Amino acid sequence: MPTITTQVAIIGAGPSGLLLGQLLSKQGISNIILERVTGEYVLGRIRAGILEQGFVDLVHEAGVGERMQREGEVHDGFEIAVYGQRTHIDLKTLAGGKTVMCYGQTEITRDLMEARQQAGLQTYYQSSDVALCDVKSDKPYVTFQHQGESYRLECDYIAGCDGYHGVSRKTIPEDLRTEHERVYPFGWLGLLSDTPPVSEELIYSKSERGFALASRRSATRSRYYLQVPLSDKAEDWSDDAFWAELKKRLPADAAAKLVTGPSIEKSIAPLRSFVCEPMQYGNLFLVGDAAHIVPPTGAKGLNLAASDVATLCKILARVYRDHDKACIDQYSQIALRRVWHGERFSWWLSNMLHDFGDTAISDMDSKTFERFMNSELDYYLNHEEGRKVIANQYVGLPYEDLQ
């Protein structure tokens, strides 16, 4: 069996694995990525497109920010509409000058993949039977199959960046991990189209017919979402049906500007809040979706992955530069603290903006819950301190330093 050696084995070539690999290489730390599918398949996934400043800074640090800087849009604010009443959340004013960048996750992933290839860094696409071995020992290794051959990858550390369905999390023995989960009784049906967006800023819209989001990728490309029952299938929604429903859920003045056209992509994603604790086991670190999932309300998924990457990079830099191996024990606590803040924010926004139908919520019926949530929206949207709370979390809480 061919044996390969590297310092950090990275499982998964999604945005977490690719960004981590790039940043480690910049610090002279060698790494190899193992990915289950092809690069094209990874790039076929359409995901959110709102980047916090912390993420933007990391992409620049990785030397991959040039196209994002050129093509991405800086957004100074966004809107929350409640039954047609629009409130502007002025991020720049409310969050001390901070803004967000609107640039698709697919584009970031493409930029990172190209940079990795140009730097000649090794990625084994279409690797199967990936197994993480001896992760508690000083000499962990990963075995995998690639093009009909079995390999052994020896390393110092393993970064599990393999998403919610990956193998890394399951390598932590069941009795040593706790999984927190909330599954929401609806999904988001997303549609991408080459049509001018209804608005220069995002509109999160609560309506009598359920939630809708008007997002964008550029002046000529729109991304829209509709809250739909979990039983719906994307193929049952014609483009016409999507546009008609969206029009009813957006505030009237925005709906009047809606330009429709053929969809480029249409898919349904269920909403889930999920956290696995701890995020470290021996020399294995979980990063991004492998350890946590948020509902897309608030666009925190990719941004939480980025803060995990930032924390792990600081730790590995200290390990190799200062020979301080003990600092690895800080990973889980630092990462989880920020993860839980993002989880809480996404859960809170999701609760306030969606229609829960007849689903009972904890100890009350859904109508009572809705009254509480509408009062919560009324308070937070109509007081400056409330809008500040939303704005500061939307632009992203600061990254924590190591001790």
Is 281 an active-site residue?
no
Q: Work out which of 9, 10, 15, 352 binds ligand APR, going by CB under 6 A.
A: 15
Q: Under the rule (CB under 6 A), what is the footprint of ligand PHB?
A: 48-50, 202, 213, 215, 223, 296-299
By rule CB under 6 A, what string of x and - marks binding of each residue 43-82 to ligand APR? ----xx----------------------------------
Closest CB to ligand PHB: residue number? 215
Is 270 an active-site residue?
no
Cα–Cα dist 334/345, whole Å:
18
Cα–Cα dist 17/24, whole Å:
10
- Contact between 167 and ligand APR (CB under 6 A)? yes
* Closer residue to ligand PHB (CB): 223 or 338: 223
Provide the 3-class DSSP secondary structure of residue 344: helix
The CA radius of gyration of the chain, in Å to the nearest whole number, is 21
Is 300 an active-site residue?
yes
Q: Which residues contact 375 (CB under 8 A, 6 or more apart)?
A: none
By rule CB under 6 A, what string of x and - marks binding of each residue 111-150 to ligand APR? ----------------x--x--------------------
Which three-class secondary structure string do you get for 199-257? CCCCEEEEECCEEEEEEEEECCEEEEEEEEECCCCHHHCCHHHHHHHHHHHCCHHHHCC
Is 295 an active-site residue?
no
Q: Given the rule CB under 6 A, which of 162-170, 176-184, 277-285, 384-392 is the region that contacts ligand APR? A: 162-170
Is 125 an active-site residue?
no
Cα–Cα dist 23/38, whole Å:
22
Q: Which of 206, 292, 300, 354 is catalytic?
A: 300
Q: Least distance (Å) from ligand PHB to the CB of residue 380?
A: 17
- Contact between 162 and ligand APR (CB under 6 A)? yes
- 295 by Cβ neighbours in 10 Å (0-12 / 13-18 / 19+) ranks as buried
* Closer residue to ligand PHB (CB): 45 or 170: 45
* Closer residue to ligand PHB (CB): 277 or 289: 289
Q: Least distance (Å) from ligand PHB to the CB of residue 332?
A: 27
Q: Least distance (Å) from ligand PHB to the CB of residue 197?
A: 10
382 alpha carbon, distance to own chain's centre: 29
Q: Least distance (Å) from ligand PHB to the CB of residue 69?
A: 19
396 makes contact, choosing from ligand APR, ligand PHB, none, with CB < 5 to 8 Å by partner type, with none
Torsion angles phi and psi, residue 309, rounded to 5: -60, -45
Cβ-contact 336, 277 below 8 angstroms = yes
Cα–Cα dist 395/344, whole Å:
15
Q: Work out which of 39, 54, 77, 163 binds ligand APR, going by CB under 6 A.
A: 163
147 dihedral zone (left: phi>0; alpha: psi -120 to 50; beta): left
Q: Least distance (Å) from ligand APR to the CB of residue 130?
A: 4
Cα–Cα dist 308/28, whole Å:
19
Nearest in space to 123 (alpha carbons), one of 37, 56, 53: 37
- Contact between 14 and ligand APR (CB under 6 A)? yes
Question: Which residues form the interface with ligand APR (CB under 6 A)?
Answer: 11-17, 34-37, 42, 47-48, 105, 127, 130, 161-163, 165-167, 288-289, 301-302, 305
